[in-house]
Structure 1
Amino acid sequence: MDNLTDALEKLKLASTDSATDGVESCLDCLLKALANNNTEASVKIQEMGILLLLPTLLSPQSSCTPKVANIIAEVAKNEFMRSPCVAAGLIPPLIQLLHSANQEVLLQTGRALGNICYDSRK
């Protein structure tokens, strides 16, 4: 989990610099952590305020966008993370991505929106 904490700290810094290479490697680490222990990694992502950074990383022109949408989809598999995803403002940028021509962006965006909305009456 120390690697995850380091990656989350680096992601905070890299996202302010718009350094795509730094962001990509951090996103890869997040995806790996979510694959290993989704619940624990999701809690850590929420605790460190990473959800609030994700809307700015969901740019249609960014090469990071499919990974960011994948991270959101994985985090939103946890019922307790769905409301924080909505509160972080992830829905509007995800909806904008539905206009993308990139199949991977569409796939991950659909997964993210589906997982966030799963079992929700709102």
Structure 2
Amino acid sequence: MENLREALEKLKLASTDSTTDSMETSLDCLLTALAQNNTEASRKMQGMGVLPLLPTLLSPQSSCTPKVANIIAEMAKNEFMRNPCVEAGLIPPLVQLLNSSDQEVLLQTGRALGNICYDSRK
């Protein structure tokens, strides 16, 4: 999980200077952490303030977009993460991605929206 903290810091930096290689590596690390221990990794990501960074990373032109949507989908598997995802403003950029012609973007976007909305009356 220490790698997770490092990856989150790198992601914060990469999101400001748009270095795709650095961002890809950080996103891969986040996905690995989520695969190993989804609940703990999600709590850590939320605690470090990653959610507000994610809407800006959901650009239709970015090669990182499928990974970002996958991270959101994985985090939203946890009930405690669904409202924070909504509050972070993730729904509008995800809905915009439904216009994409990229199958991977559509798959991950659908998963993310489905997991955020799961069991919600709102």
State the TM-score, normalized to the length of structure 2.
0.99
In structure 2, what is the Cα distance between the partners aligned to 1:115 and 1:71? 11
Q: Deviations over 1:33-78 (max 9, x none)?
A: 0000000000011000000000000000000000000000000000
In structure 1, what is the Cα distance between the partners aligned to 2:75 and 2:23? 18
Structure 2: gaps (5+ residues):
none
1:91 corresponds to:
91
Matched, 1:120 2:120: yes
In structure 2, what is the Cα distance between the partners aligned to 1:21 and 1:89? 25
Deviation at 1:22, TM superposition (A): 0.5
Matched, 1:2 2:22: no
1:78 corresponds to:
78
Deviation at 1:28, TM superposition (A): 0.1
2:49 corresponds to:
49
| Structure 1 residue runs of 4 or more that deviate by more than 6 Å after TM superposition | none
Matched, 1:106 2:93: no
In structure 2, what is the Cα distance between the partners aligned to 1:87 and 1:22? 27
Identity of aligned residues (%): 82
Work out the number of aligned pairs and report it. Answer: 122
Aligned-pair Cα RMSD in Å: 0.3
In structure 2, what is the Cα distance between the partners aligned to 1:44 and 1:56? 20
In structure 1, what is the Cα distance between the partners aligned to 2:18 and 2:55? 13
Structure 1: gaps (5+ residues):
none
State the TM-score, normalized to the length of structure 1.
0.99
2:69 counterpart letter in structure 1: A
Deviation at 1:13, TM superposition (A): 0.6
